[in-house]
Chains A and B, each alone.
Chain A
Amino acid sequence: ETGVTQSPTHLIKTRGQQVTLRCSSQSGHNTVSWYQQALGQGPQFIFQYYREEENGRGNFPPRFSGLQFPNYSSELNVNALELDDSALYLCASSSEATAYNEQFFGPGTRLTVL
């Protein structure tokens, strides 16, 4: 069983640029959630994708957008990067989009915005 993988591991961008982060869900999982974790903080929910549709969104502006593909992998896109976007971005997959289902996390992508 392959776990959740994310790419790239690290990324450095400058203000105003755009970035795409990728996540491959665990085998058999149809739900992907994205979280932002600023340094010294707990992860904050960005949004969730279930069977290729957005299924819930946290308090993040529209410049944070996402996609889920037929194989249930997912992308997180951030436009017009700001310094405060510097964080660890975590992807989690689960077998269904319910509060009960355990979420399995990937190792994260560390984004630095200069």
Chain B
Amino acid sequence: AQKVTQAQTEISVVEKEDVTLDCVYETRDTTYYLFWYKQPPSGELVFLIRRNSFDEQNEISGRYSWNFQKSTSSFNFTITASQVVDSAVYFCALSGGSSNTGKLIFGQGTTLQVKP
């Protein structure tokens, strides 16, 4: 069975601090994809990144960076120099498997509050 665990329910930081959101996944598939989405109060999920299981290279996009480690089944997300606008719920998600429908398995989400 596939599963995504985001152990941190809520994180609160002060602006300009760095923060890391943890994501651990379970799957028996050899080919799979990992995603991070941001959900602001408006409710719409905003795509941040996609990673496939064969590419463990870390990625940086501006203040955002992602660390993918297959050995520990983790796909962690770091925001450097956080800003108030980063306040949102962040979801890690997994897709893949023999059905290959694109069904996303989401974690419970981590609520990030960035205080001024």
Contacts and interface: CB of A to CB of B under 8 A. Distances in A.
A42 B100 CA distance: 20
B100 to A, nearest CB: 5
B108 interface: yes
Contact of B102 (A44, A101, A108): A101
Nearest to B105: A45
B8 to A, nearest CB: 13
A50 to B, nearest CB: 8
Given A33-B103, A97-B101, A42 B91 contact: yes
Given A108-B43, A108-B44, A42 B106 contact: yes
Contact of A99 (B33, B43, B46, B91): B33
A55 B102 CA distance: 10
A88 B31 CA distance: 30
Which of the four size classes fits the interface of chain A?
Answer: 20 to 34
A106 interface: yes
A94 interface: yes
A16 interface: no
Nearest to B108: A42
A107 B33 contact: no
A40 B4 CA distance: 15
A92 B105 CA distance: 14
A102 B50 contact: yes
Contact of B101 (A43, A48, A110): A48
A2 to B, nearest CB: 14
Interface string B38-53: 0000111111001010
Contacts of B33: 99-100
Given A97-B100, A98-B101, 18 more contacts: A33-B104, A40-B109, A42-B106, A43-B91, A43-B106, A45-B105, A50-B101, A55-B101, A58-B103, A92-B104, A97-B102, A98-B100, A99-B96, A102-B35, A102-B47, A103-B102, A107-B43, A110-B43
Interface of A: 31, 33, 35, 40-45, 48, 50, 55-56, 58, 88, 90, 92, 94, 96-108, 110
Interface of B: 4, 31-33, 35, 37, 42-47, 50, 52, 91, 93, 95-97, 99-109
